[in-house]
Amino acid sequence: MEHADQLLRTAAVQAEAGDYAAALATRERAFAALRAAGDTRRAARLAAYQISFDHLALFGNQAVAHGWLERGIRLAADSGECVEAGWVLLSRALHCSDAGERAQLVADASRIAERFGDADLFFDAMAYDGLALVSSGRITAGMRQLDEAAAAAHGGEVRSATVAGEIYCKLLVACETTLDVRRAEDWTSVFRPLESRPSVAWASAICRMHYGGILVAAGRWNDADQELSRAVELYDTTYRALRGAALVRLAELRVRQGRLGEAGALVAEYGEDAYGVRPWARVAWANARTDVDRAAVVARVAAVVGDPTSWTLGTVPSLVLLAELQLACGQQEAAQETAKRLAGLTAVDPVDALLGYTRQLEASVTERAQAAAALAAAARHFGAASLPLEQALARLRLAELVVDTDPGTAAAEARAAADTFAWLGAAAEVDRAWSVLRALGSPARTGPIAPDVLTDREKEVLALVAQGLSNPDIAARLFITRKTAAHHVSNLITKLGVRNRTEAATWATHHNLDHTR
């Protein structure tokens, strides 16, 4: 008969070496050894908290994962109230879709943690509860709990590295939900070291993914690309079944960069959650040819975000998208209802980022005078939230709205937006802002930008332009279509603020980018 403790030590060594599949197999053997020894308590926790999640995160086997969860629940019931039962309760909460039931499970786990003096269970439950509070709109209270739990993890009160990783992940989920750029930046240095330990590198993958999602919204696209690409790499060596969530964030980044073909390839058939449906919908909308196609896109987005009674703060950007698509399809009343419910959702405990989205949507469903005030408010909120891209987009929409009635305001807002877009490297948006300025008779500034706003692909294309290659030659060299090559060159000319390929080549030489790496 194998000894459970020895098997669990072996599994820990395997996980520390990065062999998650071997660790899972060894844990299953340890479970059998615990059952043979009559240790229902530890067997319950192992089944529900570790083995169940490993099957889901490693292989995406939901049925197998639920089977192990149920096994843990039954064994916990046989064991009476104990610390291990508290971990089973948290495992149940992770899989529970009903907010009320989930809150009760977490509360019961917290009570057990206090009764038995288990700090790991107590702070993990605190993080669960904090995230639930944030999702329900009680942001201040929820973030306070998440900060405390993360501080306990960082300060050594939480002994398990796995539990510490869980806590950091929940904090970053909350930061992405509320687009809390500053808090995410403050905690980033804490979770960075996790990836140096293979057994908890999965936590760094999750944290990087959510941080990357925040950076996408903030317009810091080069940084976002690095975070999300690294997250995918870490998922591939850890919990690879979860990598889809990172891929759809990369897809959202590609959409914002105007690279719809790449976005479509990344999102593929994924899009079954409130984040993944966003890049999917943008790509599908661009490819729609008929009103029936566009109505189908709206219907799918509505189905994914679900019934209004289930909306949480995490669905806010998707709700804004839904309303925009409803308006584009002529569904005015439906869009107004979406905007009304969104305003109620973000009014519980207002934060600037979410208020910005609320005001932005309000502008789409109200009359011109009210819309201008709403867009001005949205720009202020986005600026206060350190979201320069969203702030610039609100300013550009305001400029486009009042270009005929208030040209002075339109020029000022379009100029500010153009400067921000140029700094961020948002080429398509720069062109929109310049169009407003040209319509007002004010030529847009075409000053230099820094080389680091160019993507690696753009630098490759630019180097080939500087070497005198034509678009067909660039396409052949990079194994892309001629249309894609032409698109890249056009975007480069716009982003660099130059007039033609010759000036782009001169710019490349000046910045030492006239050679391929």
CATH code where residue 182 lies: 1.25.40
Domain of residue 33 covers 1-97
pLDDT above 90 for 179? yes
Do 79 and 135 belong together in one domain? no
> Does 144 fall in a domain?
yes
Do 78 and 141 belong together in one domain? no
Q: Could you give the CA distance from residue 307 to residue 295 in angstroms, rounded to a whole number?
A: 18
CB burial of 110-143 (b: ≥16 within 10 Å; e: otherwise) equals bebbeeeebbbbbbbbbbbbbbbbbbbbbbeebb
| Per-residue model confidence as pLDDT tens digits over 25-42 | 999 999 999 999 999 999
> Does 42 fall in a domain?
yes
What pLDDT, on a 0 to 100 scale, did the predictor assign at position 517? 58
pLDDT above 90 for 131? yes
pLDDT above 70 for 510? no
pLDDT above 60 for 97? yes
> Does 308 fall in a domain?
no
State which of 186, 208, 238 marks the end of a domain.
238
Provide the 3-class DSSP secondary structure of residue 245.
helix
Q: Could you give the CA distance from residue 4 to residue 97 in angstroms, rounded to a whole number?
A: 33
Residue linked to tokens 């980022």 = 353
In single-letter form, the type of residue at position 241 comes to A
What pLDDT, on a 0 to 100 scale, did the predictor assign at position 475? 86
For 131, 191, 199, 335, 400, the CA distances from 317, given in Å and listed in that order, are 18, 26, 33, 14, 22
> Does 180 fall in a domain?
yes
Do 125 and 230 belong together in one domain? yes
> Does 492 fall in a domain?
yes
Please answer whether residues 36 and 7 qualify as being in contact, where contact means their C-beta atoms are separated by less than 8 angstroms.
Answer: no
More confident residue, 6 or 270: 6
Q: Could you give the CA distance from residue 8 to residue 369 in angstroms, rounded to a whole number?
A: 67
At 491, which CATH number? 1.10.10.10
Please answer whether residues 49 and 90 qualify as being in contact, where contact means their C-beta atoms are separated by less than 8 angstroms.
Answer: yes
Do 143 and 217 belong together in one domain? yes
Residue linked to tokens 């490993």 = 54
Residue of 111, 28, 118 whose CA lies nearest to 71: 28
Q: Could you give the CA distance from residue 470 to residue 95 in angstroms, rounded to a whole number?
A: 54
> Does 66 fall in a domain?
yes
User: How many domains would you assign to the chain?
Assistant: 3
Do 162 and 125 belong together in one domain? yes
State which of 238, 263, 286 marks the end of a domain.
238
Structure tokens of 70?
């149920």
Q: What percent of the chain has pLDDT over 90?
A: 69
Long-range CB pairs of 48-53 (<8 Å, 24+ gap) are 48/72, 48/73, 48/76, 48/87, 48/88, 48/91, 48/92, 49/87, 49/88, 49/90, 49/91, 51/24, 51/27, 52/91, 53/91, 53/94
Do 213 and 126 belong together in one domain? yes
Q: Give me the mean pLDDT over the 298-309 stretch.
A: 90
What pLDDT, on a 0 to 100 scale, did the predictor assign at position 452? 62
> Does 459 fall in a domain?
yes
Q: Is 161 exposed, middle or buried (0-12, 13-18, 19+ CB in 10 A)?
A: middle
Structure tokens of 357?
């989205």
Residue linked to tokens 């207002």 = 350
Do 79 and 124 belong together in one domain? no
State which of 198, 215, 238 marks the end of a domain.
238
Do 463 and 503 belong together in one domain? yes
| Per-residue model confidence as pLDDT tens digits over 200-256 | 999 999 999 999 999 999 888 889 999 999 999 999 999 999 999 999 999 999 998
Do 503 and 462 belong together in one domain? yes
Please answer whether residues 224 and 250 qualify as being in contact, where contact means their C-beta atoms are separated by less than 8 angstroms.
Answer: no
> Does 142 fall in a domain?
yes
Q: Could you give the CA distance from residue 200 to residue 222 in angstroms, rounded to a whole number?
A: 26
Q: Tell me, yes or no, if the pTM score tops 0.95.
A: no
Length of the chain: 517
Do 91 and 130 belong together in one domain? no
Q: Is 424 exposed, middle or buried (0-12, 13-18, 19+ CB in 10 A)?
A: buried
The pLDDT mean for the chain works out to 91
Do 50 and 150 belong together in one domain? no
Do 42 and 131 belong together in one domain? no
